[in-house]
Structure 1
């Protein structure tokens, strides 16, 4: 159960990560610069929604058929992810930091696949009903689709490099 909780936490965090660092430089690089700039802005909107503890705003950035695929081969649909996001947000007492970096971006028509590295640092309620300092890291692919309402996150998959520390210890 802990493994799934950690994986889901990583999935959610990509959805909640905010633009940091070299956003302006990244936005102007390569043929995908315009799309990259648009996604950087959407990640910041998403990040602010998580920081505000607003799951409705988080889900507004997801496609109607949003889903995640975990390393165990399971697919979690939009309803399951929304339930998880609500629970995740309720468990965060305070955010210490939330960052992401688009490592690469491939755009084909109305689909954009971003490889994203993220780090989430928070004070969060854990299984022992106590608040702990929790940090998580992951690199994963997030696929976005352009809809009549703009870009929406469609799928999260290809998780790798997952790490979690609880109160400074591997957890």
Structure 2
């Protein structure tokens, strides 16, 4: 029959306490990971338009989609597309229906395209990296306002993300084609 010693008793209590603390710590870390959704990318997404100048009666514009991965896992995306819509300078301002939440309607489709080539299955952005995709288009000179919208899908979940911005086309010097601040 084993003999009882206080040192063996406290050693047993210490090992038991250590095992309990380790189990609670592992559970807490898992719950924190699950609730913060750290396995899902956190990102910043913006779409912009850079007006370059007038050429052959059309405004050359660079549409830029900027994605910055602010999370801890790589961001993989597919179908990074854009639409460039406009309002002609002679169009009446019309409010759209519920499909656009009763916002001002931009009725003219000027351009649409893909930032990611069709030959790529997907694109990725590592954590802490900002990537810009661009597309160059031409806007007819009689368009006064544009709405540029970009959308992409996450590769694995199929969920989508959207960004949009409205611009007034800059006035131009008809002689030189230089754009002026509006």
TM-score, structure 1 as length reference:
0.26
Structure (1/2) with the larger helix percentage: 1
TM-score, structure 2 as length reference:
0.25
